[in-house]
Structure 1
Amino acid sequence: MAFVSLAIIALVAFASPFIASAIPGKPVPETVFLLVLGAVLGPHMLGVIHVDAEVSLVSELGLAFLFLLAGFEIDPKSITGVEGRYGLATWVVTFGIAWLAVRFTPWFSVSHFDGIAVTLALTSTALGTLVPIMRERSLTGTRVGDSILAYGTWGELGPVLAMSVLLSARTGIQTLVILGLFAVVCVLLAVVPSRSKRVGSRFFAFVEERADTTSQTFVRLTVLILVTLVAFSAVFDLDIVLGSFAAGFVLRYIIPEGNHTLETKLDGLAYGFLIPVFFTVSGAKIDLTAVASRPGLLAGFIVALLIIRAVPILISMSICPATRDVSAYGRITVALYCTTALPIIVAVTSVAVNAGALSQDIASVMVAAGAITVFLMPLLAQLFYRVVDAAPVAAVAEVAEHPSDALDILRAHHDLASLLAREHELLTSHGHGRVFEGLPTLDTIAERLSAEAASGHIDARIVDAAHLLADKTYGDEVDPSELTPRERRRLERAKLAVREYRRRMLELYAREEAEDDDGK
């Protein structure tokens, strides 16, 4: 039956990209369809996917590779630098808020496994789940993407480490000793290959020489590091997420400059097979009947995630010196993305259910809430973008001043939002806005927009405004008194659109590039 289940999962994995792409604008990530189809086809509904020991093993390998790639994606500077320190402090604050929230909730007890599990679930970020979504949305390597990694890393690592201590049957001293041994193993696995690489030893030369042959030595070395750390985690009852995450850090230490060929191979193995199995099996474990019977708990948990996780991140980014200049939309995007929570919820609820401290029904609701955040939070970020683009406050003010033009004003604001949405899609489709040499200036933007206008991608009004702004002759060449109120408003919105266009391009650049060219 295991191969039958895997065949059905493979079909789900193959069909999900087609289904996601069939929806205009692709607002729903592929991951969501894997979860939903898994729930529908799983044992709680149609029962055509059976989660037996063999399928569970493949699923856990998928989870391991998911966090391996997530750990490898992270630049150590992003968690040890200024923003990383703010990310850690923010996670500590969210843990305290979550603890207080659970403390005053009658359904759970913070002194037992159930309350601790819920507390950790409310502080988590599904960073491993976010990485493929960020790649789909062209956020990887951008300034906003870097912030998601900085805050999301601690949202993943914090709960994992806390689980090892708070949800362990061992004493605190025993747990700390085991974590110390785990750290030693990680250091050995990182230092030995890295030192061999630096000194040019025959060992590393052999690994690189046979990396693209049938031996695939670099892939095998990666798998060895991953499985060794996961096995250590399993032997000492640590969560495999900790071992997988650590394996990603170790791999990054060995090849800090990255390795495109290796990354392509790992992506093919992980995203082509193992990771879709993990998400589909995670969906198959959700009891939709139990979820439907507790809608209040489902909605309450999602709202609690927004308040406890998203709000502190938003405040932290507003006061952090490295991110206070990021636009309000950028900060809200990071906060919403970091509120997605799934793998940690699956892990902590499994521990609590196995300990008899949490019912399977409540665990299903919590996992379902985590699955919903994977769909809901990126979608909310996208919708918020459209709302901001429409400038509703300015629209209300204009309607109040010119009530007879209310319909035209609302239509114009809607058109502006649609125009900016098309521009943003154009930017991300060109690879994070890197269509210029160096950071974009108004002059280069005007040139680029002229080319896009010729192909019909950009409204001509935006091009005109770009050239006028670039030449600093906006006020000289256009006499507002010669324009009707409606034309004046349209031209002002075009001017706003150009400035917004440049701001987005700057945020789509990596932070280092933006700092190097700050003030241009």
Structure 2
Amino acid sequence: MQDLIIFGIISILIFLAPLLNKITMLPIVVIEILLGAFAFNVGLVSESVVLKEVSHMGFLFLMFLAGIEVDIKSFKTLGSSFLKRVLMYFFVLYSSTIVIVLACNLSIIYIAAFPVMSLGMIMILIQDYGKNEIWLDLSLKIGIVGELISISMLVLLDGYYSFGIGKELYQSIFILFIFIILIIVFFKLTAIIFWWFPSLRLVLIPADGSMNQDIRYSMMLFFMMIVIVSLLKIEAVLGAFISGMVISSFFKTNKELHHKLNDFGFGFLIPLFFVYIGTTLDFDVIFGNKDIIIHAINICFAMIIVRIIATSIVFGSFLKKIKNIFLFTLSGSMPLTFLVATATLGQNIGAIEREQYYSFVLAAIMESILITTIIKVIINMNRNKS
């Protein structure tokens, strides 16, 4: 009964979030986290194992939708010279991160956290300013690759903290490597089969949606991939992400399915995850320990610094103007969903302490609010001048 009451209260918070979004203009994810934190700290909700498990499904569904956003075929149109620049960008980005992490004697998970990227906030910026902005178009292309790398880093970190450096870790990496090769082969074979038998797509997902076969197929794919990677002792995130990429690659034209999945995910499961994240924040601990807030600010600065270094070195001549370099840097420095995801995984595998977890979530909130505001101010100032 207690769990039902908790879910009832959280469903009210999820309903209120869009209304408060219109009033405050804050990112809706930030509002969901803050509502969860408020509910927990005033005693409306308490810790619940059931809530934790269901919210984890929301997190995995978020990774599933992230996979749907990835268009593998688009990489072929970028050109080899641009892809080389992209690879150089990430090389400089991670090299700068490693230097900072080693210099500050931080946990290895920071190597994944500082450069982490997410398309979520970038897509919101595109809705506001369009793809015609050179810095935002580049940010989208970099974000796609960055999201793939971020997922890979989370999987590798999970293996490292689960097995340590030794035979089991190498075995885990080998299994991961073989699994990825098999997935690539699967993609190739499926593309050939669908090319020879295009009607097969309609067998899996009929044009007549009266039976909701598209949702049934997507959910089967989602859970089967999670089960497969879990049996292989690989982080479930990868299975969710790959299942999304399957939908993106072979059912790209089915826009109705994409809308259905987005509505299903962002209508309840994903907001539930972020409200749950809020319920893990203890205000007494956060505001009673200034080091948590200072560390959150340091995380924000570190994430911006490594991106400024990488952008200036690799894309300085491409972006030309300092304004574009700065805006591109800022647009990639607020990976709200993935930074929270990294912190969640880090706490679950014992890579970070509770205080560090609080700092990461605070940093994610601060970045989302401050950076979107700064970008808006810079663009409005530029428009007024012109």
TM-score range, shorter chain: 0.7 to 0.9
Deviations along 1:236-282, one digit per CA (max 9) or x if unpaired, are 443333222222222222134x2221112112111111111122112
Is the contact between residue 78 and residue 84 of structure 1 (CA under 8 Å) also seen in structure 2? no
Q: SS at the partner of 2:209? A: coil
1:415-465 deviations in Å (ceiling 9; x for gaps): xx3xxxxxxxxxxxxxxxxxxxxxxxxxxxxxxxxxxxxxxxxxxxxxxxx
Quick check: 1:261 aligned with 2:261? no
| 2:56 aligned counterpart, secondary structure | helix
- Counterpart in 2 of 1:233? 229
Counterpart position of 1:306: 304
| Structure 2 Cα separation of the partners of residues 68 and 355 of structure 1 | 21
Post-superposition CA distance 1:93-140 (Å, at most 9, x none): 22111111121215x3xxxxxx1112211111233x326634653647
**CA–CA distance in structure 2, aligned partners of residues 146 and 238 of structure 1:** 33
Corresponding residue number in structure 1 for 2:210: 213
- 3-state SS in 2 of match to 1:11: helix
Distance 1:231 1:47 in 2: 36
Is the 1:51–1:281 contact (alpha carbons within 8 Å) kept by the matching residues of 2? no
Matched-pair identity in %: 20
Which of 362, 368, 389 in structure 1 is aligned with 2:356?
362
- The alignment status of 1:31 with 2:39, answered yes or no, reads no
SS of match in other structure, 1:232: helix
* Structure 1 residue 383 displacement after superposition: 1.8
> What SS does the corresponding residue of 2:42 show, helix, strand or coil?
coil
Cα distance, 1:76 vs. partner? 2.3
Q: Does 1:335 align with 2:323?
A: no
Cα distance in 2 for partners of 1:191, 1:138 equals 36
- Change over 3 Å in CA distance of 1:121–1:273 after alignment to 2: same
Per-residue CA distance 1:165-212 (angstroms, 9 max, x = gap): 344244443123221343255346645654443333664332343651
Change (3 A) 1:73 1:357: closer
Amino acid at match of 2:217: L
- Please give the secondary structure, in 2, of the residue aligned with 1:209: coil
Contact kept, 8 Å, 1:148 with 1:337, in 2: the verdict is yes
Do structure 1's residue 137 and structure 2's residue 134 form an aligned pair?
no
TM-score by length of 1: 0.64
Give the match for residue 9 of structure 2.
Answer: 8
Q: 1:37 to 1:76 in 2, by over 3 A?
A: same
Q: Which residue of structure 2 lines up, in the alignment, with residue 382 of structure 1?
A: 376
CA offsets 1:333-377 (integer angstroms, 9 cap, x no match): 332121113444444444544555532112211222123222222
1:158-197 to structure 2, matched below 5 A, reads: 158-168=149-159, 169-170=162-163, 171=167, 172-184=169-181, 186-187=183-184, 190-191=187-188, 194-197=191-194
8 Å CA contact retained: 2:204, 2:214: yes
| Count of residue correspondences | 373
Aligned-partner Cα distance in 1 for 2:135–2:262: 23
Residue 48 of structure 1 aligns to which amino acid in structure 2?
L
The reply on whether 1:247 has 2:243 as its aligned counterpart is: yes
Q: From the superposition, tell whether residues 116 and 268 of structure 1 become closer, same or farther in structure 2 (CA, over 3 Å).
A: same
Higher relative contact order (CA 8 A, sep 6+): 2
SS of corresponding position for 1:137: helix
RMSD between aligned residues: 3.0
Q: Which residue of 1 aligns with 2:39?
A: 41
Deviation at 1:20? 1.7
* Matching residue of 2:111: 119
- What amino acid is the match of 1:125? M
| Alignment partners' CA distance in 2, 1:83 and 1:2 | 51
Q: CA separation of 1:382/1:131 partners in 2, compared to 1, >3 Å: closer, same or farther?
A: closer
Q: Using the alignment, how far apart are the partners of 2:38 and 2:301 within structure 1?
A: 25
The alpha-carbon distance between structure 1 residues 85 and 369, as it changes in their structure 2 partners (threshold 3 A), is same
SS in structure 2 at match of 1:47: coil
Of 143, 146, 149, the residue aligned with 1:152 is 143
- Partner letter of residue 179 of structure 2? F
Letter of the 1:312 counterpart:
A
Q: CA, structure 1 residues 3+245, in 2 after alignment: closer, same or farther (shift >3 Å)?
A: same
Quote how far apart the aligned CAs of 1:307 are: 0.7
Give the match for residue 92 of structure 1. 91
Q: Which amino acid aligns with 2:246?
A: V
Tell me if the contact between 1:134 and 1:140 (Cα under 8 Å) persists in the aligned partners. no
Instruction: Output the amino acid matched with 1:22.
Output: I
Flag the 1:54–1:263 CA change in 2: closer, same or farther, 3 A.
same
What secondary structure, in the 3-state scheme, does the structure 1 residue paired with 2:108 have?
helix
The question of whether the paired residues in 1 share the 8 Å contact of 2:93 and 2:309 is answered with no
* Structure 1 counterpart SS, 2:210: coil
In 1: Cα distance, 2:87 partner to 2:208 partner? 37
2:45 partner amino acid: I
Contact preservation (8 Å) 2:296, 2:359: yes
Are the structure 2 counterparts of residues 189 and 18 from structure 1 closer, same or farther at C-alpha, using a change threshold of 3 Å? farther
Does the C-alpha gap of structure 1 residues 316 and 5 become closer, same or farther in structure 2, counting only changes over 3 Å? Answer: farther
Distance 1:370 1:148, change over 3 A: same
| 8 Å CA contact retained: 2:122, 2:331 | no
| Matched-pair contact (CA < 8 Å) for 1:210–1:217 | no
CA contact (8 A) 1:233 1:239 kept: yes
User: CA contact under 8 A between 1:78 and 1:150: conserved in structure 2?
Assistant: no
Counterpart in the other structure of 1:291: 286
**Is the CA contact 2:98–2:111 (under 8 Å) kept in the aligned structure 1?**
yes
**Distance (whole Å) between structure 1 residues aligned to residue 270 and residue 58 of structure 2:** 4
The CA distance in 2 between the partners of 1:67 and 1:205, in whole Å, is 26
Match in the other structure for 1:104:
103
